[in-house]
Amino acid sequence: MRQPPPPAPAEELAADHATHDRCVAWVRARVDDPVAGLFGPSSAAWTMVREPTYLFGGAAAVLLQMAHPAVVAGVSAYSTFETDLVGRIQRTSQALYNLVFGTLDVALGTSRRMHAIHSRVRGVVDEPGSPWHGRSYRANDPALLEWVSITASLTGRAAFEAFVRPLDAAEITRDWDDLQRGAIVAGVGPEFVPASRAALLARFDDIVENSPDLWVGPKARTVARVLFSTPLSRGIFDPVITTALLPPRLRALYDLPWGASEQRAYDRRRRAVAALRGVVPPALRYVPAWHQARRRVDLHRGESGSRWAQLLDALSARVTVPASLRPTRVA
């Protein structure tokens, strides 16, 4: 159930807005081609997020995020997660595609909307037994933004490497730039981002293995129950895939079984996805947003875009096409 936010201290809001302004300025200074967007065609982000299997990491990301009592408190108090799961997933995935494949203006507009929504999400954690019980939280807290951003990015990458292929050395190098940009456009101040990809991964591992903040109580278990009790759990939120992508400590916190039989089931799913990818042509293998973004960049460079992307642009101008962008005029 949505709740009215408690009054926010003016100085706290001002500091959060100032941090977001620094994030926007940092991003703008590092984007060479605003039409190509935040990352661009040569990025590891475009290579990974164009794959529908990238979304296989979505449920694992949610469970990781909800294992932080402050995050799940905000979701429980302000979100329609329990009553409108499909709508919530559609909005979240649309934000992802706008950030990754949209123009710079589209990406920054999405970032601003996220920041504005988060500005209203604040309160006090009310979950006895939790290490955060009685503590205040706000969604624009840099530590919480970092946790949400890092979990979303790393579970998507884990899904890509599990179901498509490992990143090569050049892609890993480019991926660090993408991870930085993704975190900062999400509102994590540049000063809070680790100094390297290795440092970021080490920080993630330390949190999931050792942080006393992670705790799974009734609210997080409710989120897990909702995730695994809908038709989506027979697709992108498959419990076996989700459990496979979770670190062992999180599996234990959620009481998710993992043994030889689960491993065999996971291996069967990986083989099935590999077989399907082997027969589906690229026009259908990649999400519409990637095709549209490629066409936009091609036209901006004076090249001809693909007919398939042209069809997607025309169609998405009339009806809602899943995983697509709004057609963008290019001068």
User: pLDDT at position 1, please?
Assistant: 45
46, 88: one domain: yes
Nearest CA among 149, 123, 111 for reference residue 69: 123
Query: How many Å is the maximal CA-CA distance in the chain?
Result: 61
User: pLDDT at position 4, please?
Assistant: 54
Q: List the structure tokens of 181.
A: 């940009």
User: pLDDT at position 61, please?
Assistant: 96
User: pLDDT at position 331, please?
Assistant: 53
Does residue 32 sit within a domain?
Answer: yes
159, 286: one domain: no
Does residue 52 sit within a domain?
Answer: yes
Does residue 152 sit within a domain?
Answer: yes
Domain with 260 in it: 10-279
CA–CA dist 100, 37 (Å, integer):
7
In the chain (331 residues long), the average pLDDT of successive 10-residue segments reads 60 93 97 96 97 95 97 91 79 94 97 95 95 96 95 96 96 95 96 94 96 96 89 78 97 97 97 95 91 94 86 86 77 53
User: pLDDT at position 6, please?
Assistant: 58
User: pLDDT at position 86, please?
Assistant: 76
CA–CA dist 245, 258 (Å, integer):
11
Does residue 163 sit within a domain?
Answer: yes
93, 217: one domain: yes
Does residue 24 sit within a domain?
Answer: yes
pTM for this model (two decimals): 0.92
Does residue 314 sit within a domain?
Answer: yes
Does residue 123 sit within a domain?
Answer: yes
Q: How many domains does the chain have?
A: 2
Helix H or strand E encompassing 122: strand 122-124
68, 105: one domain: yes
Does residue 4 sit within a domain?
Answer: no
Residue 130 neighbours by CB distance under 10 Å? 22
**Domain final residue, candidates 243, 264, 279:** 279
Q: List the structure tokens of 242.
A: 């989700």
169, 252: one domain: yes
Q: List the structure tokens of 316.
A: 């998405």
CA–CA dist 245, 264 (Å, integer):
14
> What does DSSP say about strands 122-124 and 136-138: parallel, antiparallel, or unpaired?
antiparallel
Q: Check if the beta carbon of residue 149 is closer than 8 Å to that of residue 182.
A: yes
CA–CA dist 309, 290 (Å, integer):
9
323, 237: one domain: no
246, 159: one domain: yes
DSSP code of 123?
A: E
